[in-house]
Structure 1
Amino acid sequence: MTNRPLFHFLAAMLAAGVPLLHAQDASLDKLPALDAKLTGYAYPFEVNALPLTEQGQALTMAYMDVKPGDAANGKTVLLLHGKNFSGSYWERTAKDLSSRGFRVVIPDQIGFGKSSKPTDLQYSFQMLAAQTKALLDHLKIEKAEVVGHSMGGMVATRFALMFPAATDKLVLVNPIGLEDWKRKVPYQGIDAATAAEMKKGPQDVKDYMRTVYFDGKWKEEYDDLLAIQAGWLKGPDKAAMARVTAMTSDMVMTQPVLYEFPDLKVPTLLIIGERDRTAIGKNLVPKEVAATLGQYQELGKAAAAAIPGAKLVALPGIGHAPQVEAYDDYLKALLDFIK
């Protein structure tokens, strides 16, 4: 006899574009397990450490400082990573910028990459922006071209709002937070979110990235984006990383920056892959609501209209990571704006 409730559930999952359970991709077995500090995981450039004290805790911010090539132009580019990423994925961008005379600074935010992962800290974009400014002060950099991707776009926006004098130009590459998800998504507490993260495995991360970022397709060059997240899920610090992920997701959900877009006072460029469908909490709402979230072909235009004088470079058919999917178009837009 057919199990009708199960049949209807599976049909609904397929209709919503949610991947069903299947055998794990063999390539995931080759990814190493990683601890919270990414010990043994090689970054493309030398990694330095900035000691910080935050909320009574001694923390360390990891960062890379890539010197300019022979024809230094006196400018610094600050590259801010997204939530599911770390500073390491900026390698190609950093090399191209350095070869064109830019100094490139790439921090791992607290809670990410090789930086400290406190599980009892109040995370906020103001905190991350202030710590990033402390890094620039430490390096004696007075002003930078600030580039943020995904969650890094929210950090970059907050940085530009708090420190306009230190922000020469602002570039937002498929930033999240272009819509206020908490208006449609029910609140999920940190404990519940931690429990949900603990249930995930490497295949879940790959399925998410493939579906949301890359339109259901996967290429070998995307594997580098997967390595850290999958490694943590296989590693000894999975529980701690699940907690940190839940806390930083809570920060994203409860601390929108889009209402302050009109307050930005610096030249701003948005590079938007219009096929992107990223939206935190999409799995917590009915499919008809989920279908309204993460519509970047409209969100990019709305953000550009809200930011005074902003320029929009739209990339049709490109998803959440233009610097991976459409590198040449992305780099041209970036260089045309900051050079």
Structure 2
Amino acid sequence: MRRLDPVNFAHPHVLARFCLSIAVIACPALVHAQTATTQSAAPPPAATYGAQLEGFEYPHPLKRFALASQGQDLSMAYMDIGPVADPNGRTAVLLHGKNFCGATWEGSIDALTRAGYRVIVPDQIGFCASTKPKGYQFSFHQLADNTHKLLASLGIERATIIGHSMGGMLAARYALSFPTATDKLIMVNPLGLEDWKAKGVPYATIDQLYQGELKTTAASIKAYQLKFYYNGQWKPDYDRWVEMAAGLYAGVGRESVAWNQAQTSDMVYTQPVVYEFGNIAVPTVLMIGMTDKTAPGANRASPEVAAALGNYAELGKAAARAIPKSRLIEFPGLGHSPQVESPEAFHTALIGAL
């Protein structure tokens, strides 16, 4: 028989282990309580949503527009919300940005419907609750045409087109493509106020962009938005929109989501609208959060080039000079998403501009 060595209870680590063992035997409920406390202190697991954002709750019921495009049968999700005040007979169309969805317009929907507007909020093909096609040639012309077909299916001949971020580029393309169908153009911190390629941002292939998109997490989304969108000031209200985007990347459709995001990043980089601002014929309002620093691809550029990009305080003024019939509304101290960051100030200005 093997002789057991004596236990040295004088050693603090041994004594601690012995006491813990006795606690497990004598009082398992205590250990269970301690474990529960530790688990409750840990961050909750990240939300996961389907490839068409299944599981995420939109602020209003989603509808579906079936369209055939580029040889494929596609489904565009959209919200159609009627006025809650006296109807003014006008329609506003809200176009989301690349890192956003139609749901992000929640506060603007409320403000516009209270002002008497019918509001249409599509999720573009390749985004959010809409189809994620594998072989699709993304262009702003195509997305504008898809949106125009949606409005036609609803019997809407003219509308005020409001676009944020990438949606601002799309709104400009829509106004250029369908001027007689556009009452007014509103661009909220739009991308495309400068040509990043011409300013020295190197090209990245779709395959390279795809590999980068696959690495997207809630933490990386929040870090990017904190730096570029919200001027280093985070509010709990923003967490919902991070969870929405991150849940798409974490869900079962993450590869198709990442692939379409890579394709649309290429679209944003290769299809500038800034050179056509002088051709916009409809009344236009630029609404600019002045601390915005957003510049897609700046991470690929040299430090000197990157430092000169995304200066919205100057880009907004330059765009207003270039666009006929334009008006500039500036929001000092606000960043890329003034409608999220300071909804009361933004919506007061928006309704006044309309």
TM-score by length of 2: 0.86
Q: CA–CA distance in 2 between the matches of 1:89 and 1:31? A: 19
Q: CA shift at 1:103, angstroms?
A: 0.4
2:344 aligned to 300, 325, 328, which one?
A: 328
Aligned residues: 313
CA contact (8 A) 1:118 1:244 kept: yes
1:135 aligned to 129, 150, 154, which one?
A: 150
CA contact (8 A) 1:28 1:202 kept: no
2:66 aligned to 39, 48, 51, which one?
A: 51
Closer, same or farther: CA 221–78 of 1 in aligned 2, 3 Å: same
CA contact (8 A) 2:284 2:326 kept: yes
CA contact (8 A) 2:169 2:191 kept: yes
Aligned ranges 1:210-249 → 2 under 5 Å: 210-249=226-265
CA deviation profile, 1:274-296 (whole Å, cap 9, x unmatched): 10000110110122211101000
Closer, same or farther: CA 203–112 of 1 in aligned 2, 3 Å: same
- Aligned partner of 2:167 in structure 1 is 152
Matched to 1:227, the amino acid is: E
- Aligned partner of 2:55 in structure 1 is 40
- Aligned partner of 1:279 in structure 2 is 295
- Aligned partner of 1:251 in structure 2 is 267
Q: Which runs of 4+ in 1 moved over 3 A?
A: 26-31
CA deviation profile, 1:237-287 (whole Å, cap 9, x unmatched): 222211111000000000011110000010000000010000110110122
Is residue 288 of structure 1 aligned with residue 304 of structure 2? yes
TM-score by length of 1: 0.90
Percent of pairs with identical residues: 49
107-116 vs 93-102, which moves further: 93-102
SS of residue in 1 equivalent to 2:333: coil
CA deviation profile, 1:171-224 (whole Å, cap 9, x unmatched): 000001100011211110000110111123221111101111111221101112
Q: CA–CA distance in 1 between the matches of 2:222 and 2:254? A: 17
Q: Which has the larger radius of gyration?
A: 2
2:177 aligned to 149, 157, 162, which one?
A: 162
- Aligned partner of 1:114 in structure 2 is 129
Matched to 1:88, the amino acid is: A
Matched to 2:89, the amino acid is: G
- Aligned partner of 1:89 in structure 2 is 104
Q: CA–CA distance in 2 between the matches of 1:131 and 1:317? A: 35
SS of residue in 1 equivalent to 2:197: helix
SS of residue in 2 equivalent to 1:244: helix
Q: CA shift at 1:329, angstroms?
A: 2.1
Q: CA shift at 1:94, angstroms?
A: 0.7
Q: CA–CA distance in 2 between the matches of 1:132 and 1:297? A: 30
SS of residue in 1 equivalent to 2:126: coil
- Aligned partner of 1:14 in structure 2 is none
Q: CA–CA distance in 2 between the matches of 1:32 and 1:324? A: 21
Q: CA shift at 1:27, angstroms?
A: 9.0
- Aligned partner of 1:185 in structure 2 is 201
CA deviation profile, 1:108-127 (whole Å, cap 9, x unmatched): 00011100011210000000
Q: CA–CA distance in 2 between the matches of 1:127 and 1:246? A: 17
328-337 vs 140-149, which moves further: 328-337
CA RMSD of aligned residues (A): 1.3
Matched to 1:37, the amino acid is: Q
